Amino acid sequence: MKALIVCFGIAVISSYATSEAQSQVAPHKEEIFVIADLLGVPLSDKTLGHFLEFTERENRVYETVEEVKFRFRVFRANMIKATYLNETEQGTATYGATMFADMTRSEFQRHLGLVMPKTPPVKEAKPAVIPQIILPAEYDWRTFNVVTPVKNQGQCGSCWAFSVTGNIEGLYAIANNKLLSFSEQELVDCDKLDNGCGGGFFNTAFEAIEKLGGLETEDDYPYEGRNDQCTLNKSEIRVSVRDYVNITTDETEIAKYLVGNGPISIGINANAMQFYMGGVSHPLKFLCDPMNLDHGVLIVGYGVHRTRFTHKLLPYWLIKNSWGHRWGNKGYYMAYRGDGTCGLNRAATSAILS
């Protein structure tokens, strides 16, 4: 009754054999035969090889035969999307089997979490005052030590909290010459204007931080990646917010605000990000609808990339994400700058610290 096959990290456990041995590694070649047979695809199927590589790299464990079949179908459909993104890419980005490659759209959605509030926040955001400065050709706030290492929101729609702490960390470090990491979990648990792992938005989060009195540090209120009781300790608050501003949709002005003030919270459509492997991302508009912002991230800089052979100039934003450092470009996304790519210019927002 032994029906456990461990192949490249895919554990296929048939439903009647749950108490059997946990790991039996069959010879390499046989595994491929077994899996190909199980999935009903020829050994020459290219996607099969990619799928096995992917499951090994990501240590995927699928518990039933049905699950393996289902994940392979999802993977294949996703690789068709990624190939299409590759073929129609207007920048230099490539798309492929990221850690989200076997996830359906709705499963991937759990790693996002930007939700526009149904009722408007208590207060309208004031328009930002844009500093009248001459922009340098490139800028990167990381070189000023005001950006914390890339964090990971996990399977919790708390992107909005990470975007907001990133903005506040930057402003705090610039003002105080000291980089502190602030607590997303405090927002997930205590911000009642937003919906924890169910999603949130910047304006409401800043509003909530004003009400709560401020943020604790990451160490004092560590991340759990799930909704929990609020355990805010007011005597551990290290930073407070007095107001927030709505930055324009003009990307030159966004750059001026960035250089003059610090990293900026932005909304974006994350459709292409599910499969992003690196490069300057510039998908066709209909592949990442600018009117449908579903993810909150942080602009920390910008630059211009010169393509290798054609010497085409590609202006880009340097965007800190919250999916860990294994995703994208060491956790960062580079998106084309200047035409509202994936709606990234539509919800630029920043706190004003007390």
CB 268 → ligand NAG: shortest distance, Å? 13
CB 180 → ligand NAG: shortest distance, Å? 15
The single residue of 167, 195, 203, 321 carrying the catalytic annotation is 321
Choice between 65 and 74, CB closer to ligand NAG: 74
Residue 261 among the catalytic residues: no
Residues touching ligand NAG: how many (CB under 6 A)?
15
83 is a contact residue toward ligand NAG (CB under 6 A): yes
CB neighbours of residue 326 within 10 Å: 13
Q: Is 291 exposed, middle or buried (0-12, 13-18, 19+ CB in 10 A)?
A: exposed
Angle at 140 between CA 94 and CA 137, to 5 degrees: 90
CB 128 → ligand NAG: shortest distance, Å? 9
95 is a contact residue toward ligand NAG (CB under 6 A): yes
Choice between 95 and 162, CB closer to ligand NAG: 95
Choice between 6 and 352, CB closer to ligand NAG: 352
Q: What does the alpha-carbon distance between residue 154 and residue 147 come to, in Å, rounded to a whole number?
A: 20
Residue 292 among the catalytic residues: no
Q: Is 181 exposed, middle or buried (0-12, 13-18, 19+ CB in 10 A)?
A: middle
Q: What does the alpha-carbon distance between residue 83 and residue 76 come to, in Å, rounded to a whole number?
A: 10
Residue 306's SS3 state is strand
Q: Which residue has the tokens 């046989």?
A: 30
CB 293 → ligand NAG: shortest distance, Å? 9
163 is a contact residue toward ligand NAG (CB under 6 A): no
Residue 159 among the catalytic residues: yes
Q: Looking at 26-34, 52-60, 90-98, 251-259, which segment touches ligand NAG (CB under 6 A)? A: 90-98
Q: Measuring CA to CA, which residue among 327, 294, 295, 320 is closest to residue 170? A: 320
Q: What does the alpha-carbon distance between residue 166 and residue 265 come to, in Å, rounded to a whole number?
A: 8
Angle at 94 between CA 139 and CA 344, to 5 degrees: 45
User: Residue from 45, 58, 224, 236 that binds ligand NAG (CB under 6 A)?
Assistant: 236
Residues that bind ligand NAG (CB under 6 A): 79, 82-83, 86, 94-96, 125, 203, 233, 235-236, 246, 347, 349
Q: What are the catalytic residues? A: 159, 295, 321
